[in-house]
Amino acid sequence: MGFKKTSEPLNIGATLDLVDGTPDTVTVSLPLSSLDREIFVVTDVQLDSERLNVPAAVGSVTLNASVNKTDTGLPLAINSPNCISSMQRSIGVTAAPAAIYQEAFNPNEHSTGMSTDYIAVIATPNFVLSGSFSTTAGGQPNRAIFCRITGYRAKADADTYAALVTEELNQ
């Protein structure tokens, strides 16, 4: 891929407050210049959320989040080319007196941060944090999700930049 690193590592964070049953997104601006064909090379992503409460009765609480290159309106799974990272958390209560907790985070490892080691490339000047929060019984307070992406700015050659922008906008 034809690009040259132009900055030191940057950490960019975002927060999204979710209401039960209402998916939402927040668009986060990146410090990129499209005139200079700048791209953001993502080396690490961390997703977290506020603690989920165990349902008081039989039921479940589920939280999904993803960091996406462009807005899709809904959280995506890691198998989507638009998805940079995803997280799922759920707590369920059955007839038994114990709760079942499940969690998944992808990718589940971080890169080394070296110029040749990266998770994704963002060519458009923003990324999107998308999430959903739902309960079967209701009565749960809003929950926030948090993300931090680490990466660096780079300048792409004309062909690479055109291909990356086209690929992002056509997803």
**Tens-digit pLDDT profile for residues 60-118:** 899 999 999 988 888 888 888 899 999 999 988 887 667 777 777 777 666 665 555 88
pLDDT, tens digit (0-9, with 9 covering 90-100), for 24-39: 999 999 999 999 999 9
pLDDT for residue 59 is more than 90:
no
For residue 147 the two structure tokens come to 């993300």
* Rounded Cα gap, residues 63 and 100, in angstroms: 14
105-134 core/surface letters (b: 16 or more CB in 10 A; e: else): bbeeeebeeeeeebbbbbbbeebbbbbbbb
Q: What pLDDT does residue 109 have?
A: 62
For residue 17 the two structure tokens come to 């407050």
Q: What pLDDT does residue 68 have?
A: 94
- Other CB atoms within a 10 A radius of the CB of residue 60 amount to 18
Q: What pLDDT does residue 7 have?
A: 93
**Containing H/E element for 85?**
strand 83-93
Residue type, 134: S
* Rounded Cα gap, residues 1 and 32, in angstroms: 18
pLDDT for residue 12 is more than 90:
yes
**Containing H/E element for 148?**
strand 143-156
